[in-house]
A and B are shown apart, each in its own frame.
Chain A
Amino acid sequence: MTENCLELKDVSKSFPAFNLNKISFTLPKGYIMGLVGPNGAGKTTTIQLILNMLEKDSGTILVFGKDHIKEENAIKQDLGVVFDSIFYVDSWTIKETEKAISAFYREWDHQVFSNMIDRFDLPREKKVRELSRGMQMKLMLAAAFSHNAKLLLLDEPTSGLDPVTRSEFLDILQEYINDGERSVLFSTHITTDLERVADYITLINKGELVYSGSMEDLLGGYWLIKGKPQDLTTELEKEIMGLRKTEMGFEGLIKTQNATGYKQYVLDKATIDDIVVGISKGGLKK
């Protein structure tokens, strides 16, 4: 039995105006992986390829160690999906939603669904269109939990949610992976969410894989360097990624091993946001 929940190897997909090029990453069982990158980087395309919503041009995708096309139906029994907007019929009530989708899952548990609805304080009599965005997200999560999904694919689930709901959402995810058997792939551009819950990060930019590995390695690998305009030497400029210059000074990312020679500058710990900005402005330097 594989210990990896999800494996992508050299997955490519071409569109007229965009190419996803040889994306590879591995999500071990029992962890949360953040899929980050600027808008249009290829995050949603990657999730759609995993779900076989789009046909890949090349590469392999294994979910629970099984081919995602050959064993699509078996895999989807254990897959929960939450998109940035709800995909249930807007005139359904919560009760009707359960009736409509429960038939597709062998392990659907009405009691679990009912408990989740109570826990999330969702009004059963309301129609999907009458629910707030946060409530709609919770409804999709309740559905995913009710068929005992082993892998959650989340595509920008927290965008547009208020901070309280977002925090609650992240608590639920952490609780979800507690047993060590379940995993989450979490695509978002709100990277502060990931700093709180993610164990692994996969960074995509313009359809290219930039980084895939542990959160600690990513955050520990870079510093945010700041200084006055006159302090920016040609040598330093070559080391900096995503350099921003103003009349007051400069700011950019520098690799940890390169930062040792610049102790006299202001060095702050880089956040995922800093790194995403850095790569979108020119890529991570090897």
Chain B
Amino acid sequence: MTGAFRMARLDFYTLKHHLVSYLSLFLIVLLFGFMGSSITLLCINAAWFVALMSSNIFAIQEKNNLDRLYSSVSVGLRDIVLGRYVSVFLNYFLAVVAIIALYISFSVFQDRTVDLHDLLMGLSLSFLVYSAITGVQMPLYFKLGYTKARIWGMIPFMAVMALVALPSFVPVLAKIVEFMAGNPTVLILGAFLVGVLIQFISYQFSVIAYRKRR
């Protein structure tokens, strides 16, 4: 586990000079927040954005031969993969925390109340979106590397968009969405649990993929 945190730390240093791109996320939040968008929507946007940015680390890894660095330092393969999951999750977590902080500041400034229920809904749904997209992307990047996987890496984004649109065409799904909307607590817990499960399965696939790539 210590090795994984060391790898996550290494990822932070690797991305250090690219973190400025996250400022664009905050500009979007400022704009949407000012326009009065819901916190749920803002959190989902953050998840979408972080998932989109998560390929950066793989691009830098490939460009700079970092596989050689990873194989020279005192860390096992599982920790290399786990470290990547930790670092991408931390990016997501910090982005969401920053967005919530900004949103609350806006709300205080505009004399609006912050609904705790909406906040939890935003957190859980954004985590589900983040998990679904990165959960598919990461094994692909570990298996194929950035250049070969970047086109395939777009598939989960399209799949999530399709899933959002699907209930309009499939009555059964529409009923599930209706049920979820009527039981927000189930939705919040369910989204968290499914998100965790996706990340766990994705990690196992990434370990196998990275081992095979060797």
Interface residues of A (CB under 8 A from B): 48, 51-55, 72-74, 76-77, 79-81, 83, 85-92, 96, 99-101, 103-105
Contact = CB atoms under 8 A, between A and B. Distances in A.
Nearest to A155: B68
A78 to B, nearest CB: 9
Interface of B: 3, 6, 9-10, 13-14, 16-17, 60, 63-69, 71-76, 211, 214
22 contacts: A51-B71, A72-B76, A76-B74, A76-B75, A77-B74, A79-B72, A81-B68, A83-B65, A86-B64, A87-B65, A87-B66, A87-B69, A87-B72, A88-B69, A90-B64, A100-B9, A103-B6, A103-B10, A104-B10, A104-B73, A104-B75, A105-B73
Given A73-B3, A89-B60, A91-B17, A52 B10 contact: no
B65 A85 contact: yes
Nearest to B61: A89
B74 A104 contact: yes
Given A87-B66, A89-B64, 19 more contacts: A48-B71, A51-B72, A52-B214, A53-B67, A53-B68, A55-B211, A72-B74, A73-B3, A76-B72, A76-B73, A81-B68, A83-B68, A86-B65, A87-B69, A90-B64, A100-B9, A103-B10, A104-B75, A105-B73
Nearest to A52: B71
Nearest to A85: B65
Contacts, number: 72
A87 B75 contact: no
Given A72-B76, A73-B75, A101-B73, A87 B68 contact: yes
